Structure 1
């Protein structure tokens, strides 16, 4: 009877080589160490991009709504605004036509108006304005202000004031004339732009009067 030989070796049951396990664990640890920081950074970048995109969409939405709400404005010249009455004399009409032409040459508008308003006490108001789609109201208003200048210089101390319920932007400043300082105010929105020069009035008097003129002249 043959003697039993050594038990056959089952390669499927070989114990794992400890050195290989160590190498595998070390490789996994290295790979984990290399990749782990990338995910938080990537997520942060994605979040930042999404926030920026959301802010941009919100800003675009507000701007678009404002343009839609303001772009179809109309403007007229009421014959009377409070104590102001349109000067219908030849000189008044000629001055109004000149103001309209000057404004149309400086700012691209679809329709322009102009008038000389009179009030007792030599408190005349020269008014010029127009309507059309205006993409940059504040910038266009500053550009229109260059129309009002003389040898002494242009409008100085130009700054924003309360535009009133019609919103947009309104600014006032001072220009020098041979007869003394003249208060200048103007407004602009996405559908209209206007300027007015106030004789013998301070800014404290001119700014609220400009809002009254706007409320009477501009319609949406």
Structure 2
């Protein structure tokens, strides 16, 4: 099994947009994720989408496909890359399986909710930026977004 990762132009009600500083954040994040997946990572990417409402600023997505041997340890390493993200709690990974967690932080002018997943074929993050503190549980929204980005396909990973 391997993963095909895609960045659609529309992600639910959100549109992709270009913001240089946020795009650099997603690229650095995807590079970090690529180092956490073993073997020949087939694709690593990052993109920025607009917020769904006026209360949301943006959604940042980063992901890498490859082989993951220890899902739980890799998930812990992802959150270790972001020491400001606290209150990390396990959440349902959704129908694609694996493990997932969400945490929160304050980064300058934004309130941040970061959710991450790890399964045997990929690792990724979905980060919600809001100008105001949101008390909304983002875990269902995270699962919906992940299902629009990750597609398991049968077969051996590239290079095997």
What TM-score does the superposition give when structure 2 sets the normalisation length? 0.78
Aligned pair 1:216/2:119, yes or no?
Answer: no
- The Cα shift of 1:81 comes to 1.2
User: Would the aligned equivalents of 2:50 and 2:57 in 1 still touch at CA under 8 Å?
Assistant: yes
Q: 1:156 aligns to what?
A: 86
Taking the aligned partners of 1:113 and 1:203, their CA distance within structure 2 comes to 29
Taking the aligned partners of 2:88 and 2:21, their CA distance within structure 1 comes to 29
User: Would the aligned equivalents of 2:46 and 2:61 in 1 still touch at CA under 8 Å?
Assistant: yes
Return the match for 2:69 from 102, 125, 135. 135
Listed one character per residue, the Cα deviations across residues 129-179 of structure 1 (whole Å, up to 9, x for unaligned) are 111110111210110122224xxxx32221111111111111111123233
Taking the aligned partners of 1:80 and 1:218, their CA distance within structure 2 comes to 15
User: Would the aligned equivalents of 1:127 and 1:194 in 2 still touch at CA under 8 Å?
Assistant: yes
Return the match for 1:176 from 103, 106, 109. 106
- The Cα shift of 1:97 comes to 2.7
Listed one character per residue, the Cα deviations across residues 101-126 of structure 1 (whole Å, up to 9, x for unaligned) are 23334x13502111111124243111
- The Cα shift of 1:92 comes to 5.0
Return the match for 2:17 from 87, 90, 94. 87
Q: Note the 1:1-220 alignment, pairs <5 A.
A: 71-91=1-21, 93-105=23-35, 107-108=36-37, 110=41, 111-119=43-51, 120-121=53-54, 122-149=56-83, 154-179=84-109, 181-200=111-130, 202=134, 204-220=136-152
Q: Which has the higher contact order (CA 8 A, sep 6+)?
A: 2
- The Cα shift of 1:217 comes to 0.6
Unaligned runs of 5+ in 2: 153-160
Taking the aligned partners of 2:57 and 2:139, their CA distance within structure 1 comes to 14
Structure having the higher Rg: 1
Higher strand residue share: 2
Taking the aligned partners of 2:22 and 2:103, their CA distance within structure 1 comes to 24
Number of matched residues? Answer: 145
The two structures, once aligned, show a CA RMSD in angstroms of 2.2
Higher helix residue share: 1
